[in-house]
Amino acid sequence: MGMSGRPVAFFLSSKESLYAMRKRRSFARLSAYLLLSGMFLTPLTMAYEFNDVSEDFSALDGVFIRLGVTVPVAELARVEEGIGRLSKPDIVALIGPPNEAGSTYQDDHWLYNIDLALTDDDVLVCQYRVSFAQERLAGTQWRRPQCERLYDEQKPTGYSLSADLLFGFDSATISPAGQEAIREVATAVQQRGTPSAVSVIGHADRIGNPAYNMTLSQRRAESVAAALGQFGVSPSLITPVGRGSSQPIASCDGVEGEALKTCLAPDRRVDISLSGSL
């Protein structure tokens, strides 16, 4: 059981590296897949075809067990999108500090143990690495191909709408053009199927007071969430979040005045992310 009371999957390390996953709450033993080792040349893409092995739960000690943390898949996707741009504090804000034993803030490679959902009740604990170069995010990597495939299946599909299109200056009231754009997104969402969650994330540029921009981005996210509900997306699935200017995507160093406002337009946006079964 994880700290939260949910069943978890385990990695087992031995001469032949064992990869174990918890299948049912009622199981007294752990089923595991034998992973690639020096004596096997089976491609990693065939990992699911390895023979089953098992080990008594009582025989496992702390050396074999990794407890993961739950991180929204949408935030992991944000990390991926920020390669070359995000700093260490940015990563901490998105997914927290590294939680693998021995991995520290000062390292250039951060290691995480992250829970990825297998079913409503079960999770797979996956090792995830975030790498930095010159204090900027340089890359990410899942240790196991099973984890990478599971993440790819759950990674949200998204839409990004310009706040300049959606709203008037310093306003959270949606314009007629913005209403039509949101209607189109709502139609696309419903045509794809039913997601398990819809995140509506408001962003602002860095001009002005950060606290005010945070509040404005939250109000705008709430306005878009309400409009999606009006156009047929279930309100119970939608979570609006304001991020202010904390996640910029424009690079406008050395630009000033009116040109800066134009340059920062990509930062004034509302992102709509879909996750789960589609």
CATH number at residue 189: 3.30.1330.60
Which position has the higher pLDDT, 82 or 109? 109
**Interval 114-132 mean pLDDT:** 90
**Interval 178-204 mean pLDDT:** 90
Confidence of residue 196 (pLDDT cuts 50, 70, 90): confident
- Tell whether 171 and 126 lie within a shared domain: no
Confidence of residue 118 (pLDDT cuts 50, 70, 90): confident
User: Given a cut of 50, is residue 208 above it in pLDDT?
Assistant: yes
In residues, how long is the chain?
A: 278
3-state secondary structure of 97: coil
**Interval 114-120 mean pLDDT:** 87
Token pair 């040109």 in the structure block, residue: 259
User: Given a cut of 90, is residue 83 above it in pLDDT?
Assistant: no
> 8: number of CA atoms within 13 Å, CB side?
20
* pLDDT attached to residue 174: 96
> Of 136, 154, 172, which closes a domain?
154
- Tell whether 254 and 238 lie within a shared domain: yes
Confidence of residue 22 (pLDDT cuts 50, 70, 90): very low
Confidence of residue 269 (pLDDT cuts 50, 70, 90): very high
**Interval 68-72 mean pLDDT:** 87
Into how many domains does the chain fold?
A: 2
Confidence of residue 31 (pLDDT cuts 50, 70, 90): very low
What is the average pLDDT score of the chain?
79
State which residues form the domain around 166.
Answer: 157-275
User: Given a cut of 50, is residue 35 above it in pLDDT?
Assistant: no
Backbone angles phi, psi at 54, to 5 degrees: -145, 160
Query: β-strand 269-275 against 157-162: which pairing, if any?
Result: antiparallel
User: Given a cut of 60, is residue 55 above it in pLDDT?
Assistant: no
Which position has the higher pLDDT, 182 or 10? 182
- Tell whether 220 and 180 lie within a shared domain: yes
- Tell whether 13 and 112 lie within a shared domain: yes
CB 160 within 8 A of CB 271: yes
- % of the chain with per-residue pLDDT over 70: 75
* pLDDT attached to residue 61: 56
- Tell whether 1 and 127 lie within a shared domain: yes
Q: What is the 3-state secondary structure (H, E, C) of 117-145?
A: ECCCCCEEEEEEEEEEECCEEEEEEECCH
**Interval 91-114 mean pLDDT:** 91
